């Protein structure tokens, strides 16, 4: 095996000749390397800046989308927002891995989630004080059961807690509690109110409810087997009896229990929005709690302090639609409860004097054939916000339940007592109101009625009433402007209802009015309005070709203007 041959060293002359060139090349390479490092750093900075901007802009986009979907029912909002947040977190993790390798903790959170988290914390913090208040007031509810609500609010919905709560309201005790605390010997001291020979002859033991026997104290004194427990039995008897009396302590206990029940119901709903129906919670469970909280005992008037308490509980409901659902389902039994519904609504909303809810409230406050005094109305009106005070007083002055002179006199007194200077000025200047100003005011009220989403029947009645009060070309033009400024479907439905009077007869001025409407609608001057109405009719035709609104509209259009109706039918694409 031959040994490897080593290359001969370069001659010194060659090294010396190429040295300068070599050092120059090395220096040039070092300069280029440094320049590349700077370029890499600049590119890295630009890339990080672009990814960071992308990450922040995406987060802001998610927040905007979350704000938009927050208008939906809360059940849908929770699912959609959670998906948006999950997607945003994934995008943030990918972006962070490209630049810094970790996700920042201070990422933006959708406002609806922040508000929901804060509301949940506030609700949870309210449970312990309500439980402590009930225990301090010496309520007949089991203290151990109440304390369990603090650690786990879901215990409120257990079978035992539901029965105990129902018993607290009715002055009853579960059978199992009597057996647990006092034994079988105490059963003769109670009366079974669950077992019924006809309707419920064999109830389950865990469903039986007891009340104290009528001669409880006499039986207890004659029962030597319960001598050691006599004090506890008497104390429980006094607690249960106290809940049935109309005393300050009884009312305080019921208020604390109702607040606790409202809070626990809301916590349960927010934790189970995917399974709980909002219609059941806010239309069935919540309204009775608010009613019982505000209307207590034999009250004949509303107490503003209790109303403020109810409003503080309603404010914990995030969705305005759900709050309105609770308010709108209050007072179905009439009386003071119905007045509570209007009061809660009019403390928060600003409605016009021709709004259906305002008119409904006026009819309730002005019984047919009976003139209420200003002294009776003022305490109620003072509970409304200033805007609704004006709206209700104006509606009373225009109500057909009072004679004109009586309505004006009542309105003047109410306006003076409430400090409504605007209404007083209107009353003082009403005699010099010009016909033009009166017409303008009337059609502004009808526009407000349309803007407040009144029913087409109510709008048609208001238009018909004004045209009967004054019928000329200017009034017909004003009616056209009023009904075509808003939703085209409102115009279609009002058009269909305008000819028919409540007694089933045809309005004598309807044909001329509808003929004017069809002529204007098909005229090139009103092409923009025609396009909107035609699009609405096309949609009705696509959804349901025999839609009553569409069929009636075409039939009435043919009744007043056959040529115009044929044009509309052809443009819709209907069969002639």
As given in the structure block, the two tokens for residue 518 are 């069809």
Whether pLDDT at 81 is above 80 = no
Q: How far apart are CA 391 and CA 386, in angstroms?
A: 9
Question: In angstroms, what CA-CA distances link 406 with 368, 387, 412, 465, 542?
Answer: 14, 23, 10, 22, 53
Question: Given the structure tokens 């806010």, which residue do they identify?
Answer: 282
In a domain, 6, yes or no: no
Q: Which of 75, 100, 426 is nearest to 277 (CA)?
A: 75
Structural contact between residues 241 and 217, judged by C-beta atoms closer than 8 angstroms:
no
Over residues 154-188, the pLDDT tens digits come to 989 888 888 888 888 788 888 888 888 888 888 88
Same domain, yes or no, for 338 and 354?
Answer: no
* Section 58-71 average pLDDT: 63
What is the phi/psi pair of residue 203, to 5°? -75, 155
Same domain, yes or no, for 403 and 449?
Answer: no
Mean pLDDT score across all residues of the chain = 81
Q: Which of 563, 552, 513 is nearest to 571 (CA)?
A: 563
Percent of the chain at pLDDT exceeding 70: 84
Same domain, yes or no, for 428 and 538?
Answer: no
Confidence class of residue 35 from pLDDT cuts 50, 70 and 90?
confident
Question: In angstroms, what CA-CA distances link 519 with 300, 403, 484, 539, 572?
Answer: 57, 40, 14, 22, 17
User: Per-residue DSSP letters for 155-223?
Assistant: GGGSHHHHHHHHHHHHT-EEHHHHHHHH-GGGGGGEEESS-BTTTBSS--GGG-EEEE-TTHHHHHHH-
Whether pLDDT at 97 is above 70 = no
* Section 123-130 average pLDDT: 90
Of 329, 344, 359, the residue that ends a domain is 344
Same domain, yes or no, for 171 and 285?
Answer: yes
Same domain, yes or no, for 447 and 530?
Answer: yes
Q: What is the pLDDT of residue 30?
A: 85
In a domain, 12, yes or no: no
Per the model's pLDDT, the better-predicted residue between 234 and 17 turns out to be 234
Burial of 146 (0-12, 13-18, 19+ CB in 10 A): buried
Q: Global pTM?
A: 0.61
Question: Given the structure tokens 């003929």, which residue do they identify?
Answer: 515
Same domain, yes or no, for 131 and 256?
Answer: yes
- The boundaries of the domain holding residue 455 are 433-572
Whether pLDDT at 363 is above 70 = yes
Whether pLDDT at 327 is above 60 = yes
Same domain, yes or no, for 76 and 133?
Answer: no
Of 62, 87, 109, the residue that ends a domain is 109
Question: Given the structure tokens 């109110």, which residue do they identify?
Answer: 193
Of 390, 407, 432, the residue that ends a domain is 432
**Sheet of 190-192, strands arranged across:** 173-174, 209-212, 190-192
Q: What is the pLDDT of residue 344?
A: 92
Over residues 296-306, the pLDDT tens digits come to 766 678 888 98
Same domain, yes or no, for 416 and 442?
Answer: no
- Widest distance between CA atoms in the chain: 136
Q: Which of 373, 315, 301, 376 is nearest to 343 (CA)?
A: 301
Q: How far apart are CA 187 and CA 178, in angstroms?
A: 7
In a domain, 561, yes or no: yes
153-179 burial, b if ≥16 CB within 10 A, otherwise e?
bebbeeeebebbbebbeeebbbbebbe
Same domain, yes or no, for 428 and 438?
Answer: no
Q: What is the pLDDT of residue 92?
A: 66
Q: How far apart are CA 319 and CA 314, in angstroms?
A: 10
Q: What is the pLDDT of residue 61?
A: 66
544-572 burial, b if ≥16 CB within 10 A, otherwise e?
eeebebbebbbebbbebbeebbebbbeeb
Q: How far apart are CA 543 and CA 148, in angstroms?
A: 54
Same domain, yes or no, for 336 and 360?
Answer: no
Structural contact between residues 311 and 347, judged by C-beta atoms closer than 8 angstroms:
yes
Determine the length of the chain: 576
DSSP 285: I
Q: What is the pLDDT of residue 263?
A: 92
Over residues 448-490, the pLDDT tens digits come to 778 777 788 888 888 888 888 888 888 888 888 888 888 888 8
In a domain, 187, yes or no: yes
Structural contact between residues 355 and 452, judged by C-beta atoms closer than 8 angstroms:
yes
Whether pLDDT at 431 is above 50 = no
Question: Given the structure tokens 């009976």, which residue do they identify?
Answer: 370
In a domain, 386, yes or no: yes
Choice among 45-54, 91-100, 313-322, 549-558 with the minimum mean pLDDT: 91-100
Confidence class of residue 1 from pLDDT cuts 50, 70 and 90?
very low
In a domain, 20, yes or no: no
Same domain, yes or no, for 227 and 123?
Answer: yes
* Measured torsion, CA atoms of residues 493, 499, 501, 505, in degrees rounded to the nearest 10: -140
**320 three-state secondary structure:** helix
**Centroid of chain to Cα 557:** 40
Q: What is the pLDDT of residue 262?
A: 93
In a domain, 543, yes or no: yes
Same domain, yes or no, for 423 and 438?
Answer: no
Residue 372 parent element (H or E): none
Whether pLDDT at 54 is above 70 = no
In a domain, 15, yes or no: no
**Centroid of chain to Cα 435:** 42
Over residues 225-275, the pLDDT tens digits come to 777 888 888 888 888 887 777 788 888 888 889 999 999 999 998 888 777
Question: Given the structure tokens 């040295």, which residue do they identify?
Answer: 19
Q: What is the pLDDT of residue 101?
A: 53
How many domains, in total, are found in the chain?
A: 4
């Amino acid at each position: 095996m031959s040994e490897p041959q080593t290359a001969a060293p370069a001659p010194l002359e060659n090294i010396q000749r190429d040295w300068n060139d070599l050092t120059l090349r090395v220096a040039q390479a070092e300069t280029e390397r440094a320049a590349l490092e700077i370029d890499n750093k600049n590119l890295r900075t630009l890339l990080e800046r672009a990814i960071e901007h992308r990450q922040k802009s995406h987060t802001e986009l998610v927040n905007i989308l979350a704000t938009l979907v927050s208008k939906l029912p809360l059940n849908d909002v929770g699912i959609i927002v959670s998906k948006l947040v999950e997607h945003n977190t994934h995008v943030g993790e990918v972006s962070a891995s490209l630049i810094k390798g970790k996700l920042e903790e201070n990422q933006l959170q959708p406002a609806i989630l922040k508000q929901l988290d804060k509301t949940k914390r506030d609700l949870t913090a309210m449970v312990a004080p309500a439980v402590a208040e009930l225990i301090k007031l010496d309520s007949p509810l089991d203290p151990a059961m109440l304390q369990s609500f603090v650690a786990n609010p879901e215990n409120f919905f257990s079978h035992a807690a539901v029965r105990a709560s129902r018993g607290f309201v009715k002055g009853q005790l579960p059978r199992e509690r009597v057996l647990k605390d006092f034994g079988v010997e105490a059963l003769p001291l109670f009366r079974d109110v669950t077992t019924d020979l006809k309707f419920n002859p064999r109830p389950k033991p865990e469903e039986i409810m007891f009340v104290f026997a009528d001669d409880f104290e006499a039986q207890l004194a004659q029962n030597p087997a319960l001598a050691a427990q006599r004090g506890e039995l008497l104390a429980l008897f006094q607690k249960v009896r106290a809940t049935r009396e109309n005393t300050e302590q009884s009312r305080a206990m019921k208020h604390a229990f109702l607040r606790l029940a409202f809070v626990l119901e809301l916590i349960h709903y927010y934790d189970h929005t995917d399974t709980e129906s909002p219609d059941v919670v806010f239309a069935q469970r919540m309204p009775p709690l608010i009613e019982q909280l505000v209307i207590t005992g034999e009250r004949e008037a509303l107490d503003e302090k209790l109303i403020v308490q109810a409003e503080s509980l309603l404010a914990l409901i995030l969705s305005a639609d759900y709050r309105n659902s609770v308010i709108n389902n209050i007072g179905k039994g009439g009386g003071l409860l119905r007045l509570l519904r209007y009061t809660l609504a009019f403390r928060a909303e600003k409605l016009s004097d021709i709004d259906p809810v305002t008119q409904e409230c006026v009819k309730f406050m002005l019984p047919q054939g009976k003139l209420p005094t200003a002294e009776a109305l003022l305490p109620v009106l003072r509970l409304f916000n200033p805007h609704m005070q004006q709206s209700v007083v104006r509606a009373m002055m225009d109500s057909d339940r009072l004679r004109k002179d009586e309505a004006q006199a009542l309105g003047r007194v109410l306006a003076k007592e409430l400090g409504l200077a605007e209404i007083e000025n209107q009353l003082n200047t009403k005699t010099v109101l010009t016909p033009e100003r009166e017409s303008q005011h009337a059609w502004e009220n009808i526009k407000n009625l349309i803007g407040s989403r009144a029913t087409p029947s109510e709008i048609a009645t208001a238009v018909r009433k004004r045209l009967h009060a004054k019928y000329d070309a200017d009034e017909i033009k004003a009616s056209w402007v009023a009904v075509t400024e808003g939703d085209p479907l409102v115009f279609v439905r009002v058009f269909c209802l305008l000819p028919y009077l409540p007694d089933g007869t045809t309005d004598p001025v309807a044909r001329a009015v509808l003929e004017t409407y069809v002529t204007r609608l098909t005229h090139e001057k009103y092409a923009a309005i025609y396009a909107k109405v035609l699009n609405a009719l096309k949609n009705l035709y696509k959804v349901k070709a025999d839609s009553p609104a569409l069929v009636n509209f075409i039939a009435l259009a043919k009744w007043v203007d056959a040529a115009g109706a044929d044009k509309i039918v052809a443009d819709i694409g209907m069969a002639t």
